[in-house]
Amino acid sequence: MESSFVKKKGAASPFSCEKLPPGTRISPFNRALLTSTGLASLDSILGGGLCVGSILLIEEDAYAAHFDLLLKYLAAEGAACNQTLYVASASADREEADQWVRSLPVAASSATPVAADDPFFRIAWQYQKYNRRNPTSSVSWCHKFDWSRSLNDAGPHGPSYHAFCHPLTLEIQLPERHPYLSLYSDLKEKIDSANRSTLENTDLRVQRILVRSIGSHWAASPASCETETVTWLRALRGLIRRSSAVAIVSFPAYLWQGDSRSKNTEFVNHVRHAADVVVQLISFSDADSPVNPAFTPFDGLLKLVKTPKVGVAHVAAITSYTYKITKKEFQIEKICLPPDEATLNEQVKDQLLKRDKGRSTRTIDF
């Protein structure tokens, strides 16, 4: 008699279970290749992590620059996983871009994974085949970071990265030297080289691309900033889709959201549409009006403006979170506010009125 239990087979994945790129894992829902953001809470919000081949857009806060700290977590996770970093900077000085990478925190020491041949590691014989198909990885998922130490302390054994620098200028430039065109050409060359290495099985590593402050005047002229930014983002999405890379892009949306003109609102919507995931940071220090006293322990709000649709099976239903920056980590938590006293008093009064209406008004004659 045959068993009615049949093992469910997922969709085909371009990577086998025996050899995955460092710092990645296969989603148990749809066999998509995921990589961590460096924050376990953000991984949970995004449905398990960042899908390789997608774009994460971070809408910057105005003055507190908390987005830069979040970018450093994303870059530090890539460095800890031995992934190739690509950092695009508006500075003409290469040393400034190098210093930003060297200031990334070092991954804290974690427990060494247990090897399959360890005498203290015992597994039932029925599951030996699964242990063979899914060997223990030497790279853990979602590192903890020590902010008291930076990659400067690592000496010459730092991460492999490439920095794209462009001078901050508003002068009219030749078409072949346009910042967006130069950045696209350089990215295409690096991605094509990585794709060839992946096909030849010589270097199975995920590229982590970080581009800071697109849409600002460093990369486009003020007159054509909107059109050029959206066009470049769409071209970047085409590059990322056919590669083993993930892109993290920051965008100063507050420069346009403060204006009530519909044209600027459409521009922000077009930028959001070109990305796969959109996360917005709202710092309480940037607020013009007084902040609710219940938010005093926190530094700002994190909003999931656009949920991931590529390679993710389940995403949290909550879209607004609070975040707190401590010396050790960037904590993202659900919003848990105490009940409003006025609202609570009204609810108690309504319950008392309903209870009184349900009572009988007849007098009992003894």
pLDDT of 120: 43
Q: Over 70: is that where the pLDDT of 320 sits?
A: yes
Q: Over 60: is that where the pLDDT of 111 sits?
A: no
Q: What is the mean pLDDT of the chain?
A: 77
pLDDT of 134: 41
Of 68-82, 96-110, 249-263, the range with the highest mean pLDDT is: 68-82
334: which residues sit within 8 A by CB, 6+ positions away? 318, 321, 322
Q: How many whole angstroms separate alpha carbon 231 and alpha carbon 267?
A: 11
Domain boundaries, the chain: 24-110+134-348
Cβ-in-10-Å burial (0-12, 13-18, 19+) of 139 comes to middle
pLDDT tier at 118, thresholds 50, 70, 90: very low
Q: Over 80: is that where the pLDDT of 7 sits?
A: no
DSSP state of 52: T
Among 199-208, 304-313, 339-348, the minimum mean pLDDT is found in 339-348
pLDDT of 311: 63
Average pLDDT over residues 45-50: 88
Percent of the chain, pLDDT > 90?
29
The tokens describing 224, both together, are 């054509």
Q: Look at strands 55-59 and 277-283 and give their pairing.
A: parallel
Average pLDDT over residues 33-38: 92
pLDDT of 15: 54
CB atoms within 10 A of CB 302: 23
pLDDT tier at 200, thresholds 50, 70, 90: confident
Average pLDDT over residues 49-72: 92
Q: Which residue has the higher pLDDT, 61 or 93?
A: 61
pLDDT of 357: 61
pLDDT of 339: 59
pLDDT of 72: 93
Distances (CA, A) of 88 to 97, 210, 233, 255, 355: 8, 6, 14, 20, 65
Among 95-104, 180-189, 238-247, 346-355, the minimum mean pLDDT is found in 346-355
Of 288-302, 303-317, 341-355, the range with the highest mean pLDDT is: 288-302
For 157-179, what is each residue's pLDDT tens digit?
667 788 887 654 444 444 545 77
| CA–CA–CA angle 152, 158, 161 (5° rounding) | 115
Q: Over 90: is that where the pLDDT of 65 sits?
A: no
Closest among 180, 254, 176 to 214, alpha carbons compared? 180
pLDDT of 122: 55
Residue environment code for 162-178, b if the CB has 16+ CB neighbours within 10 A, otherwise e? bbbbbeeeeeeeeeeeb
Q: Which fold has domain 24-110+134-348?
A: Rossmann fold (3.40.50)
Among 28-32, 125-129, 145-149, 293-297, the minimum mean pLDDT is found in 125-129
Q: What helix, strand, coil percent values describe the chain, rounded to 5?
A: 35, 20, 45
pLDDT of 114: 40
Side chain identity at 58, as an amino acid letter?
Answer: I
pLDDT of 309: 77
**325 φ, ψ to 5°?**
-105, 120
Side chain identity at 245, as an amino acid letter?
Answer: A
Q: Which stretches within 176-297 are classed as H helix?
A: 179-199, 225-241, 254-257, 262-274
pLDDT of 56: 96
pLDDT of 172: 45
DSSP state of 317: S
Q: Which residue has the higher pLDDT, 115 or 295?
A: 295
Q: Which residue has the higher pLDDT, 282 or 264?
A: 282
Radius of gyration from C-alpha coordinates of the chain: 25
